[in-house]
Amino acid sequence: MSLATRYLGLELRNPIVASASPLSQDVAGVVALASAGVGAVVLPSLMEEVVRQREVDDFLEVARHEDAFGEATTYFPEPLLDEVDGVGQYLTLVREAAAAVDVPVIASLNGASLGGWTSIASQLAAAGAAAIELNIYAVPGDLSMTGASIEARHVEILRQVRGAVDVPVAVKLSPYFSNTGIVARDLVAAGADGLVLFNRFLQPDINPVTMSVEPGVYLSRPEDGRLPRAWIAVLRNEIGGASLAATGGAWSAGDVAKGLLAGADVVMVASALLEHGVGVVGEMLEGLQAWLAGTGLGLDRVRGALAVPAGDSAEATQRAGYVEALASARARWGDLGHL
């Protein structure tokens, strides 16, 4: 049974996508992921701060020669920077990875503010990126900013990237909005070809012994997939033809199947690969094939089978699920009060 699917308008051999992780930070890793069978690979993010540093370096280098003869422009830094700075290294990774594998290589651009840093997206596309994943990682610290202004900034960042490239653009979102559904629809209306749900904030922790703040990075858990699946089920029939990707909590073929049933076009995997190695992709694909064979249905038939039907109240559906979950919990553990 065929596992071929489409994501962001791209033809994929299957719906399992390697999301950004240390495994895709070099060409050898991308080749290993493609050889393991993934349908596409997302590269680690090029950070806004790196792009802005390049802009500063370019300015300083040009300023250093501003008194030189106007004709002597051949020693300006562009060729050098393509070899040594963070942006040049990333462009080289995109170029070499795209040439080395026969699956789409998706570049990731991570930032949170408005400005010219988004113009680098055109260079990523020119280097061979099949699509751009725009990872808007914003932790608002200005308490005077309204929710509406934060959401409007997301849309404007997307518009800047969308205006710079012809390749598909997906937006990777966090779930922390006053109304995630409205933000999702606004982004699609502004030109997003797809949405990746959800970004995972890497919150630091506090060490009470040293009385210091420590960075905290941890792998996802299978239960982390519940929130993105809930929103994908809500959005599947509400955002037209835009693609949906589930990310977080996919550790098995069963987790992939859950994402598809909710309405995801692809399910992204990273933690399971880091924990068990890229060979787990083959196990997931075998399990997915067996599950589909057991249903007697093709991929297009199962995708979105458990999404909220068009015209139904997503709020009522989610509320019913909440009530049923409480009833199930009470049957097992007794009265839980008004959780």
Number of domains within the chain: 2
pLDDT for the residue 313: 61
User: 197 with 117, same domain?
Assistant: yes
Indicate if the pLDDT at residue 190 is higher than 80. Answer: yes
User: 108 with 36, same domain?
Assistant: yes
β-strand partners of 131: 106
User: 333 with 251, same domain?
Assistant: no
Q: What Rg, from alpha-carbon coordinates, does the chain have?
A: 22
Counts of helices then strands in the chain (DSSP H, E)? 13, 12
Write down the pTM of the prediction: 0.86
User: 189 with 324, same domain?
Assistant: no
Query: Residue 41 has which token pair?
Result: 């690979």
pLDDT for the residue 15: 98
Give the range of the structural domain holding residue 327, as residue numbers without chain letter.
313-339
Question: Which has the closest alpha carbon to 158: 140, 180, 184?
Answer: 184
**pLDDT-derived band of residue 12, with 50, 70 and 90 as boundaries?**
very high
Q: Which amino acid is at 319?
A: R
User: 297 with 324, same domain?
Assistant: no
**Among 41-55, 176-190, 242-256, which is the least confidently predicted range?**
41-55
β-strand partners of 197: 173, 246
User: 335 with 289, same domain?
Assistant: no
User: 89 with 166, same domain?
Assistant: yes
Mean pLDDT, to the nearest integer, of 67-90?
A: 58
User: What is the CATH number for 272?
Assistant: 3.20.20.70
User: 250 with 323, same domain?
Assistant: no
Phi, psi of 282 (to 5 degrees): -60, -40
User: 282 with 324, same domain?
Assistant: no
pLDDT for the residue 326: 47
Give the residue ranges of DSSP H helices in 5-85: 27-36, 48-64, 78-84
User: 267 with 167, same domain?
Assistant: yes
Kindly give, in sequence order, each residue whose CB lies less than 8 Å from that of residue 210, ignoring residues fewer than 6 positions away: none
User: 146 with 54, same domain?
Assistant: yes
User: 267 with 339, same domain?
Assistant: no
CA–CA dist 263, 317 (Å, integer): 15
CA–CA dist 180, 154 (Å, integer): 12
**Among 91-105, 136-150, 153-167, 219-233, which is the least confidently predicted range?**
136-150
